[in-house]
């Protein structure tokens, strides 16, 4: 049944992708792509390397305050491996984040897991802060129906509440509260009995970070603001290379903020189809050409695949242990190797 569902999701994603390409026009897309020179592609690749290095640096800042220690290049490799798993499997970012934690060596796993959860929460907090700004810019730029405006504001409010709730729960003991909830439904009891001490230690590390390292929290928060600015610059520069005359920094910012929802929807590897439909809708909403939308998507997918190939190389070099622990089959998942 799982294979049938995965196959159906993949087919639907491919179908959406074909629909988007046919609507934009294959000839127009090809003519737009031909504008990008080899030197411009190299610039985009370099920006993507800076993009991922900044994310690894933010993660390193959190890991150090969670009692772990690792080199930037090692964490960058783990991040790329997580990107590869999240991009080529239906797990989306959730599976990628879990896998990158397993790829970090020479650290207690509880410290790494705590750092991954905190790092992702801070990234979500930055997104939650910027989405209302993007929505305000979108609403003020052109009149929208009251129902659409209300839906935007409702979704934004839910996201802000979710992020605040996550931070609050992490201060109080996030994983133990999740296990308490599962225990009410008689789920996860055996897992809790085996690993309760390790889970409690992970919760303690997360709680201590928020209580004792607020300076590092705000430093990483600023790092992700810089990350969003770099992402906006990449989108802007990419569309300039593709010959778009209508793109502005403001529109590039809206594409980044409002288009990020496509990356968090699980089900289809690489969000095939969902990503394309999201960007095509935003391009129409912002008055940008559909051929530039699909061309941008194809260029960025090429960059994503290049980074995913790097991540797969890291997985092959570091062995199969992390992969076997994430997809153990009949084997039990080890919570902590030490």
> What is the pLDDT confidence band of residue 129, given thresholds at 50, 70 and 90?
confident
CA neighbor of 290 nearest in space, from 280, 300, 275: 280
Cα angle 47, 51, 52; round to 5: 125
Instruction: Write the pLDDT tens digit of every residue in 151-192.
Output: 666 766 777 787 788 787 777 777 777 766 666 666 666 666
| Mean pLDDT value of segment 27-37 | 76
Q: Which two tokens stand for residue 283?
A: 């391009």
The residue count of the chain comes to 338
Q: Which has more pLDDT, 99 or 291?
A: 99
**How crowded is the C-beta side of 186, counted as CA atoms within 13 Å?**
0
Residue 62 has pLDDT above 90, yes or no: yes
**Lowest model confidence (mean pLDDT) among 9-13, 222-226, 272-276, 296-300:** 9-13
> What is the pLDDT confidence band of residue 36, given thresholds at 50, 70 and 90?
confident
Q: Are 99 and 322 in contact (CB under 8 A)?
A: yes
**Lowest model confidence (mean pLDDT) among 22-36, 57-71, 164-178:** 22-36
> What is the pLDDT confidence band of residue 338, given thresholds at 50, 70 and 90?
very low
DSSP letters for 262-327: GGS--SSGGGTTHHHHHHHHHHHHTT--HHHHHHHHHHHHHHHHHHHHHHHHHHHHT-SHHHHHHS
SS3 content of the chain, % helix, strand, coil (to 5): 80, 0, 20
CA neighbor of 229 nearest in space, from 253, 200, 250: 253
The pLDDT assigned to 294 comes to: 80
Residue 13 has pLDDT above 70, yes or no: no
The pLDDT assigned to 168 comes to: 78
Residue 42 has pLDDT above 90, yes or no: yes
Instruction: Write the pLDDT tens digit of every residue in 68-92.
Output: 989 999 999 999 999 888 887 765 5
Work out the mean pLDDT of the chain and round it to a whole number: 78
Cα angle 163, 168, 171; round to 5: 130
The pLDDT assigned to 112 comes to: 93
Residue 323 has pLDDT above 70, yes or no: no
Q: 331 to each of 85, 142, 194, 291, 324, how far by Cα in Å?
A: 20, 56, 15, 48, 8
Catalogue the E-assigned strands of the chain.
none
Instruction: Write the pLDDT tens digit of every residue in 267-303.
Output: 444 455 556 667 777 787 787 877 788 888 888 888 8
Residue 330 has pLDDT above 50, yes or no: no
Q: Are 141 and 274 in contact (CB under 8 A)?
A: no
The pLDDT assigned to 80 comes to: 93
Percent pLDDT > 90 in the chain is 25
Token pair 């939308």: residue:
293
The pLDDT assigned to 324 comes to: 55
């Amino acid at each position: 049944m799982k294979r049938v569902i995965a196959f159906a999701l993949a087919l639907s994603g491919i179908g959406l992708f074909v629909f988007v390409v046919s609507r934009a026009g294959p000839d127009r897309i090809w003519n737009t792509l031909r504008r990008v020179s080899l030197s411009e592609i190299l610039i985009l690749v370099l920006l993507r390397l800076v993009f991922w290095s900044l994310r690894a640096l933010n993660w390193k800042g959190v890991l150090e305050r969670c009692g772990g220690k690792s080199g930037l290049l090692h964490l960058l490799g783990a991040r790329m491996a997580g990107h590869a798993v999240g991009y080529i499997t239906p797990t989306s970012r959730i599976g990628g984040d879990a896998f990158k934690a397993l790829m970090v060596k020479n650290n207690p796993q509880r410290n790494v897991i705590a750092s991954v959860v905190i790092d992702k929460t801070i990234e979500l907090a930055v997104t939650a802060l910027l989405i209302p700004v993007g929505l305000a810019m979108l609403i003020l730029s052109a009149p929208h129906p009251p129902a659409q405006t209300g839906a935007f504001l409702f979704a934004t409010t839910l996201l802000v509440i979710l992020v605040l709730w996550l931070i609050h729960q992490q201060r109080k003991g996030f994983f133990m509260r999740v296990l308490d909830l599962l225990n009410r439904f008689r789920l996860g009891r055996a897992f809790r009995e085996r690993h309760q001490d390790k889970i409690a230690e992970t919760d303690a590390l997360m709680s201590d970070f928020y209580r004792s390292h607020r300076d590092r929290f705000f430093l990483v928060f600023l790092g992700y603001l810089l990350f969003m600015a770099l992402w906006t610059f990449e989108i802007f520069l990419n569309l300039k290379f593709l010959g778009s005359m209508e793109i502005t920094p403001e529109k590039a910012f809206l594409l980044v903020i409002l288009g990020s929802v496509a990356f968090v929807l699980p089900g289809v590897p690489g969000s095939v189809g969902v990503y394309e439909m999201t960007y095509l809708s935003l391009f129409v909403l912002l008055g940008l050409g559909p051929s530039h939308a699909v061309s941008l998507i194809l260029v960025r997918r090429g960059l994503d695949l290049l980074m995913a190939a790097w991540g797969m190389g890291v997985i092959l070099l570091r062995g199969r242990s992390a992969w076997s622990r994430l997809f153990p089959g009949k084997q039990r998942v080890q919570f902590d190797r030490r």
